[in-house]
Amino acid sequence: MISRALIAAGYGLLLAAAPISLALAWDSLKWVEHTLEVRLEIDRCLKNLLDAETGTRGYVITGDDEFLEPYRQAVGDAVPCLSRLAVLTADNPYQQGLLAVGQRLCHAKLEIMAGVIKARRTRGFEAAQRIVASKRGKAAMDGFRYAMARMFSEESRLLAERQQRLAIGLTAGCLVTASALAGLLWLKFKDLRVQKLATEAVASTEKILQEAHANPPLQTVKQSLEQVADRMRRISQG
């Protein structure tokens, strides 16, 4: 017959493996957050150029400098935004290639808009209209939109993969943790403090599983992981 001590040792090994599983889930969580940050920056870069284009159009039509305010704000962040995106995607050669195309087109569009504004201010509406009618600015903007759309699509693909890995990691980590702690509780620890911590950790793992299936905000999952890690640490310290 298997001794009580041997059963306890087996559950102890499961408990020792639990932090590894949760650490892998934590790593997946960070990559999901990273992907969401990249997508947000892509949207911001596109919005900058769209706002600049809107401001330019308003100024060309009216000649009123007030319409250039969104242009100035957008131009001020256009290049820094692309630089942030370059840092965020430094680990992805495919995204870096698309970004390089986007950067060239962004600079081209900015130069064309600056030329349109200058022409409108110094030579009037018709001079600015001729530059717009050449469609060079439209071609640059269309190309930039396409490059950003391709980048966003790639990040969406990565997000789906990383969310799946996160769900698997959370499920595995929680099941291992819950199994080990439930087994140790079944052995009826005499130490009531350890019993209490183990019960709390089981409850936390169940909460993580529920949150993972409900696809909650990442911050909520992160807090739950931190709670389990804290209780696991306290249990290991006796």
DSSP string, the chain: ---HHHHHHHHHHHHHHHHHHHHHHHHHHHHHHHHHHHHHHHHHHHHHHHHHHHHHHHHHHH--GGGGHHHHHHHHHHHHHHHHHHHHTTT-HHHHHHHHHHHHHHHHHHHHHHHHHHHHHHH-HHHHHHHHHTTHHHHHHHHHHHHHHHHHHHHHHHHHHHHHHHHHHHHHHHHHHHHHHHHHHHT--S-HHHHHHHHHHHHHHHHHHHHHHH---HHHHHHHHHHHHHHHHHHHT-
Condensed to tens digits (0 to 9), the pLDDT of residues 33-78 reads 899 999 999 999 999 999 999 999 999 999 999 999 989 999 999 9
Number of domains in the chain: 1
Q: Looking at residue 165, what is its pLDDT? A: 77
Condensed to tens digits (0 to 9), the pLDDT of residues 158-201 reads 998 888 877 776 666 666 666 665 555 555 554 555 556 556 65
Chain centroid offset of residue 38 CA: 6
Q: Looking at residue 114, what is its pLDDT? A: 96
- Residue 156 domain boundaries: 4-236
